[in-house]
A and B are shown apart, each in its own frame.
Chain A
Amino acid sequence: MLSALFRYQFMQNAVLAGFFASLLCGVIGVIIIEKKLVMMSGGIAHASYGGVGLGYLLGIEPILGAIGFALASAFGVGALKRRGGARADVLIGLFWSVGMALGIFFVALMPGYPPDMSSYLFGNILAVTRADLWLIASITAVVLIVVFVLFDSWKAYLFDDEFAWIIGQPTVFFEYLLLSIIALSVVALIRVVGIILALAMLTAPAATASLFTKGLGTRMVVSAALSTLFCWAGLAVSYYTGVSSGAAIVTLSGAVCLLSYGVRALAARQIQKHAAKTHAGGEVARK
């Protein structure tokens, strides 16, 4: 695989795309888990399918259509939720499937043979082009800068938005800014693991990292490192076995995450037992 890495540009693109996407997943994944926006992110990802379809119909780059739809749905759900008119989970469910339906609808309106849309649904990291790579790298740069430049404000906002508002932080601005960077991140992930699988890549590394990190910053770093590991390992599995890359990456991430939860639960029980035993022993000794 290493020699292929040097020889073929598509392998270089894949490795770099996996790396940039992982930086995104590390940072955004931690935020959406803490802010309980996982389903919201899933809704945005699926709604962007409508943009892919519209892109094909209008003859523009489908991924640009996806960005438009992702941003529009993020702002739409955000604004409707803010008005308090409807329940957030209902709105997310609607955006989720109506976005998918629109994608199918737009493609059906196209004259001639329909294009193959499955690479948008399941991703194909080995098909990432230089242009895709630039797009992913730019989105990653924008998101990382937005998060790190305002890190102290983000920390206050994410921990307790009510208090942040009271001390004078513009929390409405942060809310929409957060929704925008989630939308952009989701679109960047579409090329790598696809619309349907993006959610696992956003949550699995961050959830695994949450088991053994205590600070917001360290959790983001560890989560990005884990995600990179999963991406590259999944890529290797895909290269040698011919399994679809998105499926390999997501299965691997999910398996490691669930395994970590299991190990952690067992370890917690052992620690409790041990503590109870030494405690009881101390009681006896004192008597």
Chain B
Amino acid sequence: MENSLPALKIENLSVYYESTPALEGVSLEVADGDYLGIIGPNGGGKTTLLKVILGLIHPTAGSVLVYGKSPGHAGVKIGYVPQIAQMDRRFPITAFEVVLTGRLGRGPKPLHRYTKADREAATQALERVGIAELAARPISALSGGEFQRLLIARAMAAEPRLLLLDEPTASVDAASRERIYSLLGELSRSMTVILVTHDILAVSSQVRSIACLSGRLVYHGEPKLDANTMNALYGCPVELIAHGVPHRVLGEHHGEGGADCQC
């Protein structure tokens, strides 16, 4: 990549909701072209971190730079895939129209018409996520996995430099999950990808680096987790079973295991 600026540079970031800290003292640098998985317990600040990067939430303290610029829509093109659980799927719109909105661009568009190039890009994005044949369907007639892939297609249609995904495999079937991971692996070759997930095992076999968030940044580095990190992250040793995973995520357990843990 031609640019040596880091995709993301976070310094000493803290976010408070009223007096409750969601994130405290997080510093994190993500290189251009990286594929980062962010894991952590519920309430660990994963979604908050994404929203700060997007500019939807303002930090209480600290600084965030996306390719050297402040977050917000004035900056770099960012693709965002929200959690599907938060979306209204009764809205009267077809899959194709949803992807087209990714092509709208900046500023209000009086008398706007999508161009032929926009339509082609939208079709291409739908093909890449594997739901081109569903283009004319209203979104209310899509399954969870199809809708999730649709939102990825919409983010791709915007041709982002940085792609952020919030739990893209949380509520989808196994086939869609496979498909989403192989697609993200492919996309990560041409853009920086940051993925928030619960899916610890799968993500470790996919991403190039991993960050563990539990209010603070517990770990950032190679996607190899040991018991100490998991302990710090979830407050107790988490039983990780490595069956069917290309490589072992956890290092070997040493000494005191989960025997004395109440959770």
- Does A219 reach chain B (CB closer than 8 Å)? yes
The reply to whether B112 and A153 contact each other, CB–CB distance below 8 Å, is yes
- Does B101 reach chain A (CB closer than 8 Å)? yes
The reply to whether A155 and B101 contact each other, CB–CB distance below 8 Å, is yes
The reply to whether A158 and B80 contact each other, CB–CB distance below 8 Å, is no
The reply to whether B93 and A155 contact each other, CB–CB distance below 8 Å, is yes
List residues of B (158-210) whose CB comes within 8 Å of A's CBs: 158
What's the nearest-Cβ distance from chain B to residue A272, in Å? Answer: 16
The reply to whether A166 and B101 contact each other, CB–CB distance below 8 Å, is no
What's the nearest-Cβ distance from chain A to residue B103, in Å? Answer: 9
| A173 CB contacts on chain B under 8 angstroms | 108
- Does B244 reach chain A (CB closer than 8 Å)? no
| B116 CB contacts on chain A under 8 angstroms | none
Interface window among A2-10, A186-194, A210-218 = A210-218
**Chain A-chain B contacts (Cβ-Cβ < 8 Å), number:** 89
- Does A104 reach chain B (CB closer than 8 Å)? no
- Does B255 reach chain A (CB closer than 8 Å)? no
The reply to whether B94 and A214 contact each other, CB–CB distance below 8 Å, is yes
- Does B117 reach chain A (CB closer than 8 Å)? no
List residues of B (92-131) whose CB comes within 8 Å of A's CBs: 92-94, 97-98, 101-102, 104-114
- Does B73 reach chain A (CB closer than 8 Å)? yes
The reply to whether B87 and A160 contact each other, CB–CB distance below 8 Å, is yes
How many angstroms from the CA of A30 to the CA of B102 in the assembled complex? Answer: 23
How many angstroms from the CA of A239 to the CA of B248 in the assembled complex? Answer: 80
What's the nearest-Cβ distance from chain B to residue A85, in Å? Answer: 12
Q: Which residue of B lies closest to A216 (CB)?
A: B92
| B36 CB contacts on chain A under 8 angstroms | none
- Does B220 reach chain A (CB closer than 8 Å)? no
The reply to whether A150 and B158 contact each other, CB–CB distance below 8 Å, is no
Interface residue count on the A side (C-beta < 8 Å): 29
- Does B15 reach chain A (CB closer than 8 Å)? no
List residues of B (24-59) whose CB comes within 8 Å of A's CBs: 54-56
Among candidates A30, A150, A167, A210, residue contacting B110 with C-beta atoms closer than 8 Å: A150
Contacts A159-B98, A166-B78 given; does A150 touch B92 at CB 8 Å: no
Contacts A152-B109, A160-B82 given; does A166 touch B54 at CB 8 Å: yes
- Does A168 reach chain B (CB closer than 8 Å)? yes
- Does A156 reach chain B (CB closer than 8 Å)? yes
Among candidates B92, B102, B110, B158, residue contacting A34 with C-beta atoms closer than 8 Å: B92
The reply to whether A170 and B92 contact each other, CB–CB distance below 8 Å, is no
| A151 CB contacts on chain B under 8 angstroms | 112
Bitwise interface map of A from 58 to 73 toward B, beta carbon under 8 Å scored 1, else 0: 0000000000000000
- Does A164 reach chain B (CB closer than 8 Å)? yes
| A105 CB contacts on chain B under 8 angstroms | none
- Does B154 reach chain A (CB closer than 8 Å)? yes
How many angstroms from the CA of A155 to the CA of B92 in the assembled complex? Answer: 10
How many angstroms from the CA of A170 to the CA of B74 in the assembled complex? Answer: 11
The reply to whether B109 and A214 contact each other, CB–CB distance below 8 Å, is no
| B106 CB contacts on chain A under 8 angstroms | 167-169
Among candidates A158, A163, A215, residue contacting B94 with C-beta atoms closer than 8 Å: A215
What's the nearest-Cβ distance from chain A to residue B115, in Å? Answer: 12
The reply to whether B107 and A170 contact each other, CB–CB distance below 8 Å, is yes
Binding site for A on B (CB under 8 A): 54-56, 73-74, 77-78, 80, 82, 87-88, 91-94, 97-98, 101-102, 104-114, 138, 154, 158
A-B residue pairs, 5 tightest by C-beta: A168-B106, A156-B101, A168-B73, A152-B112, A214-B138
15 of the cross-chain contacts (CB-CB < 8 Å) are A30-B92, A34-B91, A150-B109, A151-B112, A155-B97, A159-B101, A166-B54, A166-B55, A167-B101, A167-B158, A173-B108, A213-B92, A214-B92, A215-B97, A215-B138
